[in-house]
Each structure stands twice: as structure tokens, then as C-alpha cells.
């Protein structure tokens, strides 16, 4: 499982020009799932992301987690994170999990974050989406299981 995490001041996702998910301070997560991912991968990343200390304290040190600052999450499914661009000019997406498996794990991931008390807004699995954000910092990390 692979997540691109972007600390953001605000973010939203639109489908067909309509906002379907929106957050203020927190994380935008682009979530990719591969064939051999399991519930254990989902649990590991939900815990890691909720507790990752990337928000500044009064001394401008990254000492606070999303839970510490009461942040929110905008979670976007993103099979293209498993695009392999090493050969040719068109990415190969064979490493991305089939939609049936990926959707189940994606929803489980979001539920696990919500169970930690985090507000989670989402896009629409499998849809073409327009994602807007103000990246705070900018802080962008790749987190993998």
C-alpha cells in the first residue's frame, strides 16, 4: 500500500464539477493499493498516518500529529500510484490491485481513520476527480506499508 500524504490548509474534491468532499487543516491522502495488500497493511498505514508528527509546535519543530492538532483527512483513491514508467512511454498499471479488492481495502482504510476520531472526507472510488488543495509547507511524504 502506498500513500502520498500532503499537509494542507484546505482541500476539496469535485466529481462532475460538484464538490463531494472538503476539509480544512489536515492531510490530503492519495491512496494506492497493490495486489498483495491486506488488512494488516491498511491498519499499519492508518495508525502511522494518524500519529505521524508533521505539524509544528511553538518552536517550529514537527512534533504534533494529526490527532494532536485535530486535523482532518481528504482521502482519494489513486491506482496510478502503482504506475510503472520504467519502460516505454505509457505507464504500466499491472501492480495496481483490481478494483474489487482495492475498493474494499480503501473503504476499510478510511473507516480505520474515522475510528481514531478523525473526520475523513473522500472522493468517489473509480471516478474522474478534480482535487484542489493548498499544500501547507509544502509538506509532502510518501508512506508505504
Summarize pLDDT for 2-15 with one digit per residue, the tens: 999 999 999 999 99
CA pair distance 50, 73, nearest whole angstrom: 10
Task: Indicate the length of the chain as a whole number.
Answer: 145
**pLDDT recorded at residue 5:** 98
Mean pLDDT (the chain, rounded): 97
**pLDDT recorded at residue 28:** 98
CA pair distance 84, 42, nearest whole angstrom: 22
How many Cβ atoms sit within 10 Å of the Cβ of residue 39?
12
Summarize pLDDT for 61-112 with one digit per residue, the tens: 999 999 999 999 999 999 999 999 999 999 999 999 999 999 999 999 999 9
Q: Are 75 and 121 in contact (CB under 8 A)?
A: yes
pLDDT band (50, 70, 90) for residue 141: very high
Give the cell for residue 66. Answer: 494529526
pTM over 0.85: yes
- May I ask the CATH architecture of the domain 2-137? 3-Layer(bba) Sandwich (3.50)
Q: Which residues pair with 29 in a beta bridge?
A: 5, 75
How many Cβ atoms sit within 10 Å of the Cβ of residue 126?
12
Residues 6+ apart with CB under 8 A from 83: 91, 92, 93, 96
Q: What is the domain partition of the chain in residue ranges? A: 2-137
Q: Which residues pair with 64 in a beta bridge?
A: 55
Catalytic residues: 80
Amino acid at each position: 500500500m502506498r500513500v502520498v500524504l500532503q499537509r494542507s490548509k484546505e482541500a476539496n474534491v469535485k466529481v462532475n464539477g460538484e464538490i463531494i468532499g472538503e476539509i480544512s487543516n489536515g492531510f490530503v491522502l492519495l491512496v494506492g493499493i497493490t495486489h498483495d495488500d491486506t488488512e494488516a497493511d491498511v491498519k499499519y498505514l492508518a495508525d502511522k498516518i494518524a500519529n505521524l508528527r508533521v505539524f509544528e509546535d511553538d518552536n517550529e519543530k514537527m512534533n504534533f500529529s494529526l490527532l494532536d492538532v485535530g486535523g482532518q483527512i481528504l482521502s482519494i483513491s489513486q491506482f496510478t500510484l502503482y504506475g510503472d514508467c520504467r519502460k516505454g512511454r505509457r505507464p504500466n498499471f499491472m501492480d495496481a490491485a483490481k478494483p474489487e479488492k482495492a475498493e474494499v481495502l480503501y473503504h476499510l482504510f478510511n473507516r480505520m481513520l474515522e475510528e481514531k476520531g478523525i473526520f475523513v472526507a473522500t472522493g468517489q472510488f473509480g471516478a474522474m476527480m478534480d482535487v484542489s488543495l493548498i499544500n501547507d509547507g509544502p509538506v509532502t511524504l510518501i508512506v508505504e506499508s
